[in-house]
Structure 1
Amino acid sequence: MSAPLAIWTDFGGVLTPPVDVTFNDFCDRVGVPLYALKEAMRLVGEAHGTDSMGVIDIPLLDEASWSEELETELGRTFGLVADLENFGDRWFDGRPANADWIRHLAAFRDRGAFVGLLSNLPPSWERHRRYMVGDSHFDDIVCSYAVGSRKPEPEIFRIAALRAGRAPHECVLVDDLEKNCAGAVAAGWQAVHFRSAEQAARQIANLMDAAAPVAAPLAAAGI
């Protein structure tokens, strides 16, 4: 009999509103154009040999140092004077949890699935995550800063599968980023590209149905 699937959900953009929505709100709040902030994040990441968020997901810099480098890059590249102090506090200010997806995760657990959180998350943002979605919603939590690897790298998927006690093909990533879904599939996982709670829940339910063991006919069982 196959073990129930391990459903690993992303945090930002899945258990929260879409990241693009938060970016727009944040940029309005700090008075920085969206294009400028994203480019500054890209340039700072590139300077450290990674992408926009890789700098603080592992982390290579703490949040305060990262914010200072972003301010410097905004001034150098765009001539903008910006105050990005307490970046995380302002990023999460007024940002609600996705209550619909939380309910679906609870339903998956009720059906016997392992439900975990698999997130690229800076350490200073962990308290915001816990405030929005408590640890009790998950059977395990794997965050990039704690394991030294981040999606879509294969190592974080290997770690998560081991923590769930499942083979790779018995693990499913639910993520709003296609590159992370592709990384999961490359690691032997299944993946659901999250666009809405209802869409993702339907796909997960179908995967769970397909993975469920079929009872042997009574005659074959000698009954």
Structure 2
Amino acid sequence: MKAVISDFGGVITLPLDEAFAQAHEEIGIPLSALGEAMKLAASRADEPPLFKLERGQITDHEFTAIMAASLSEVTGREVVLDGYGERLMRSLRPNEPLLGYYAQLKAKGVRLAILTNNVREWQPRWMPLLPTGMFELIVDSGFEGVRKPEPKIYEITLSRLGLEAGECAFVDDLEVNVQGANAVGLHGVHFRTTEQTIADLESVLGT
């Protein structure tokens, strides 16, 4: 096994639920309302607006306007989401134990890459969380026009690494993305806890 391709949010960072909870506490909107608003917005479109945001097909500003309108309808009061992405990114915390393990792998010659479903405008806010020089490649859906679990984004990542799918492990906290990775021949590892993920990677990597 020559490389580990890792998701960012909820893997390299601590659980995203914690970041969302903090952001929603700051703006005074229950986190449960976000889920309802997401469902409402999705019911009125051909697919969830989040998917279009993560492909870079709509802007952060456009997505925020959609969600503010949906949250206003769900909560029964006007909701303003100015600076929502900034709050969310500020709430992210690095998963230091996993990053420490990745550093050990890199020292052994294992190549490291990131494949993330993310927001184009948010990249400058989350990139500083990464240790300098640890990851040789970052593939961000917001710049690619495709998102996990669509096969093309895995293929883009492999092409840029110059590796075959069978030579790479893939880590993600969403099972659907792991299934997508497995479908193109990657060795998928479903992140549930840091300890479990390290153990699973050790097994896959044969270290």
Q: TM-score, normalised by structure 1?
A: 0.86
Aligned partner letter, 1:28: E
- Alignment partner, residue 114 of structure 2: 117
1:1-223 matched pairs, under 5 angstroms: 4-51=1-48, 53-134=50-131, 136-209=133-206
Runs of 4+ in 1 over 4 A off after TM superposition: none
- Alignment partner, residue 215 of structure 1: none
Say if 1:185 and 1:81 are closer, same or farther in 2 by CA, change over 3 A.
Answer: same
Contact 2:14–2:93 (CA under 8 A) maintained in structure 1: yes
- State the SS of the aligned residue for 2:115: strand
Q: Give, in angstroms, the shift of residue 60 of structure 1.
A: 2.2
* Alignment deviations for residues 24-59 of structure 1 (CA, whole Å, 9 cap, x no partner): 222211111222112212333454433362131112
Aligned partner letter, 2:35: K
Alignment identity in percent?
30
Q: Give, in angstroms, the shift of residue 206 of structure 1.
A: 1.6
Contact 2:119–2:142 (CA under 8 A) maintained in structure 1: yes
Contact 2:23–2:84 (CA under 8 A) maintained in structure 1: no
Contact 2:22–2:91 (CA under 8 A) maintained in structure 1: no
CA distance in 1, matches of 2:201, 2:63: 37
Contact 1:30–1:82 (CA under 8 A) maintained in structure 2: no
* Alignment deviations for residues 193-219 of structure 1 (CA, whole Å, 9 cap, x no partner): 112222211211221117xxxxxxxxx
CA distance in 2, matches of 1:46, 1:7: 36
CA distance in 1, matches of 2:48, 2:14: 22
Gaps in structure 1 of 5+ consecutive residues: 211-223
Q: RMSD of the alignment, in Å?
A: 1.7
CA distance in 1, matches of 2:189, 2:136: 19
Say if 1:42 and 1:172 are closer, same or farther in 2 by CA, change over 3 A.
Answer: farther
Q: TM-score, normalised by structure 2?
A: 0.92
Aligned partner letter, 2:78: V
Q: How many residue pairs are counted as aligned between the two chains?
A: 207
Contact 2:23–2:91 (CA under 8 A) maintained in structure 1: no
Contact 1:31–1:82 (CA under 8 A) maintained in structure 2: no
Gaps in structure 2 of 5+ consecutive residues: none
- State the SS of the aligned residue for 2:78: coil
- State the SS of the aligned residue for 1:152: coil
Aligned partner letter, 1:85: D
* Alignment deviations for residues 61-108 of structure 1 (CA, whole Å, 9 cap, x no partner): 211221111111122243132221111111122422111111111111
CA distance in 2, matches of 1:112, 1:202: 18
